[in-house]
Structure 1
Amino acid sequence: MQVLAPLLPSAYAAAAIAGLLAANALITPPDRAPRAVAATAPPVVAALEPTQGALVGGETVTITGSGLTAVTSVEIDGVAADLDRVVNGSITLRVPNAADYEAGTVEVEVFAGDAAVASDLEWTYVTTTAVDRQLEYAFRHWDDYNTAYFGNFNEWGGDCMNFVSQTLVARGWVPQAEWFNDAQQEWADPFVHVPSFDEWLAEHPEYGAVRLDYSERDRAKVGDVIVFDWDGDGSLDHSQVISRISDDAGIEMVGHNVNSTYRSVDEAFDQQGTDSTQVYIWSIA
């Protein structure tokens, strides 16, 4: 009779493992195909509603489609719109102002990250409101002075107030005996002189203008008139029209003297301000 040598502990372990492997080899595993991962459908843009609005923007519009949660930004004529709500089937956004306050039809571009989403959407800017007419005029003449009708007061100390008054005429304000400019042949001081305008407007509440301190600037809006007292001596020196208000740049202005369309208040402070500068806003109803 053959006598088997006793297994050492390590040999016991090796034998047990070998047995398990042999047993498992006899068992046929069930079919376990890799679980398919559903591909994310690319965003599809279908429609925009409404499709037109004022030059000053601000309308709430909706883009419909599918897979729209992948959308990260929307631009109207190259200007980013504020996205209020993005869900699978729709995007709600607010339209920015027309870049140069010009009426016309522009492209609406939708992006998922850096990739443009195929779309043929368009938005039409229409001159519809009094403020539209004011800013349309301002952007047409910020560097192309309308001298035939209003002259140019830069050689007389500055054309800033003359230009602001012109935009208010375009807005619908009717010239009167105390506020007019007849092609620089005859004029009333409040039309062309900032301190005189400030005093005159304070005496005429029928224009619906309220004078705000700069600390109340959260009440300002496009089309309001902003005035500066650079050295804080109580005599106003400069005026412009608010052309845009944004989180990034704050209040921006269109005006003469420093001919510009989107000059920020911060930039004006850097260029002309002092520690004593005071700023006020005529908020117009």
Structure 2
Amino acid sequence: MTLQPYDRQAAVSYAHRWAYHRNPDFYNFDELGGDCTNFASQCLYAGTGVMNYTPTFGWYYNSQYSRAPAWTGVPFFYNFLTRKKEGPGPVGVETSMEEVQPGDFVQLRFVPGPFAHNPVIVAVGSPISLDNILVAAHTEDADYRPLSTYPIAQARFLHILGANH
């Protein structure tokens, strides 16, 4: 497998285009637990152009009923991106807040329990802080929203390295 560059600008442009709307090519999961990771996956796909059709443990979307758990589930998205086994699709690593770039992702925990929200980072200002990292998200639709406006108990940042083709 060859790791291809991630088109961060394409991912961010997609986020801006669809932050307050729903792409009709994808089901809206707002009424089924939230649409944030579905939206994050769409942004990531816009920047990589490759899915992984491995049953159960892949990352793909065909329809509401034909998709991998990683396409719509916060912990599964994380597990897929940080997987050790090489395979097709995007590849990421957990990183520090200081290392994030537009097109990366942040996963948020609001109360003790699992990470429950998955916005895409659309801008990073200086100095790097929760006030200067801006995100786009679905469920509570947002664009250019400062991370500091969320009631965060914990955040983990995912840096996208590229995509295996």
Please give the TM-score of this superposition, normalised by the length of structure 2. 0.81
How far apart in 2 are the matches of 1:151 and 1:183?
7
What is the letter of the counterpart of residue 70 of structure 2? P
Give the aligned partner of residue 163 of structure 1. Answer: 39
How far apart in 2 are the matches of 1:204 and 1:137?
28
**In 1, are the aligned partners of 2:82 and 2:91 still within 8 Å (CA)?**
no
- Structure 2 gap segments, 5+ residues each: 1-5
Whether 1:132 aligns to 2:47 is no
User: Residues 266 and 132 (structure 1 numbering): CA distance in 2 closer, same or farther, change over 3 Å?
Assistant: same
Query: How far does the alpha carbon of each residue in 1:207-231 deviate from its partner, in whole angstroms, 9 at most, with x for none?
Result: 441102xxx2111111101001111
Q: Shift of the alpha carbon at 1:255?
A: 1.1
Q: Shift of the alpha carbon at 1:173?
A: 4.1
How far apart in 1 are the matches of 2:85 and 2:12?
23
Q: Which has the larger radius of gyration?
A: 1
Q: Shift of the alpha carbon at 1:205?
A: 6.7
Whether 1:247 aligns to 2:126 is yes
How far apart in 2 are the matches of 1:278 and 1:222?
20
How far apart in 2 are the matches of 1:282 and 1:139?
19
If asked which structure has higher relative contact order (CA below 8 Å, sep 6+), I would say: 2
Give the aligned partner of residue 94 of structure 2. Answer: 211
Aligned ranges for residues 1-285 of structure 1 at < 5 Å?
A: 130-147=7-24, 149-177=25-53, 178-204=58-84, 207-212=90-95, 216-233=96-113, 235-247=114-126, 249-269=131-151, 273=152, 277-285=153-161
Q: Shift of the alpha carbon at 1:232?
A: 3.0
Query: How far does the alpha carbon of each residue in 1:24-70 deviate from its partner, in whole angstroms, 9 at most, with x for none?
Result: xxxxxxxxxxxxxxxxxxxxxxxxxxxxxxxxxxxxxxxxxxxxxxx
How far apart in 1 are the matches of 2:91 and 2:74?
18
How far apart in 2 are the matches of 1:283 and 1:151?
26
User: Residues 175 and 208 (structure 1 numbering): CA distance in 2 closer, same or farther, change over 3 Å?
Assistant: closer
Matched pairs, number = 146
How far apart in 2 are the matches of 1:191 and 1:208?
14
How far apart in 2 are the matches of 1:254 and 1:218?
19
- Structure 1 gap segments, 5+ residues each: 1-128
User: Residues 174 and 263 (structure 1 numbering): CA distance in 2 closer, same or farther, change over 3 Å?
Assistant: same
Q: Shift of the alpha carbon at 1:156?
A: 0.4
What is the letter of the counterpart of residue 118 of structure 2? S
Identical positions, percent: 27
Q: More strand by proportion, 1 or 2?
A: 1
Runs of 4+ off more than 6 Å:
none
Query: How far does the alpha carbon of each residue in 1:218-249 deviate from its partner, in whole angstroms, 9 at most, with x for none?
Result: 1111110100111132x110001101111373
What is the letter of the counterpart of residue 263 of structure 1? R
